[in-house]
Structure 1
Amino acid sequence: EKELKKEGIDVVDIHGRAKSLYSSFLKLKKYDMDINKVHDLTAVRIIVSEIADCYEALGIVHKKYRPMIGRIKDYISLPKPNGYQSIHT
């Protein structure tokens, strides 16, 4: 949060979560996956007030945590049919 604010990003909310063991189990069973292929055991949600800040925040996050190529989803430039806008990385 400090890094984001230092760059002038208006942070509305930041919170994290760990996927429950049961939820992880269901995902593994549903997709017949290996635990090593589950990439969302933990997550951080950063909510900012401006769209441009989403991309700025993404850059800051990627400086600290290397992105997984092919796993970035930009629902801001291509919103979901229901209007959902976000960036997943």
Structure 2
Amino acid sequence: VVMRVAMVAQWLRAAAQDPPRRTACLTYALWITLAQLGWIVASFIHTSIPVTAGIVVALVLVEVMGPVIAERRQGGTPWHAHHIV
């Protein structure tokens, strides 16, 4: 939870400081928040194994689709070789 709160804060900061990519940054923040809320809810509900498996699959799809959707919005986000190497 702590790491995701920090990630959302960073994406919101990026959205405020980079107007051309604001939409992509806000999309990342939204999907990370949705995924985290989903995992929190899933941890508190008691369901059968098949239902739990379905919830896990759905949440994994949320985790995977968030970056895909965000990167397709207005050109996505740039990367900087110095930050990677």
Normalised by the length of structure 2, the TM-score is: 0.29
Which structure dedicates a bigger proportion of its chain to strand?
A: 1
- Greater relative contact order, per chain length (Cα 8 Å cut-off, separation 6+): 2
TM-score (norm 1): 0.28
Q: Which has the higher helix share?
A: 2
